[in-house]
Amino acid sequence: MYLFISLLILVVCVLLGLIVLVQNPKGGGLAANFTGSGSQFMGVRQTADFLEKASWSLAIALLVLSLTATMIIPRGTSDFGTQESQIRDQINDFNQNAPAPIDFQTPPPQEGAEPSGE
């Protein structure tokens, strides 16, 4: 299910990018290509309205799909969850089997060496 939602997000992103690229930031875009002179035809205004509605709809769909994907992310059932628990167990085992800390206040005396302070 998560893979399906991810695929839908990818499709919506591509469509949204194409819709935005077709529009002109100054109000022309695809609608400006249909007008030969400066007059507006009935269908031209509807094309601009369609592109605006399509971009808003795809943006809302992207938001909803993203929120849905975060809610259905697989947690704890994947291989990552089992690897995480295995790593945690290995760290605990290592900490339990670690040698006790050594007191480094004074070095142990060496055999055959004479004390050097007298």
Q: 35-39, 66-70, 100-104: lowest mean pLDDT where?
A: 35-39
Is 60 exceeded by the pLDDT of residue 42? no
Is 60 exceeded by the pLDDT of residue 109? yes
Long-range Cβ contact pairs of 31-39 (< 8 A, separation 24 or more): none
Sign (positive/negative) of CA torsion 64, 65, 70, 72? positive
Is 80 exceeded by the pLDDT of residue 24? no
Phi and psi angles of residue 2, each rounded to the nearest 5 degrees, phi first: -65, -40
pLDDT of residue 52: 87
Is 90 exceeded by the pLDDT of residue 11? yes
Do the beta carbons of residue 20 and residue 80 sit within 8 Å? no
Mean pLDDT of the chain: 75
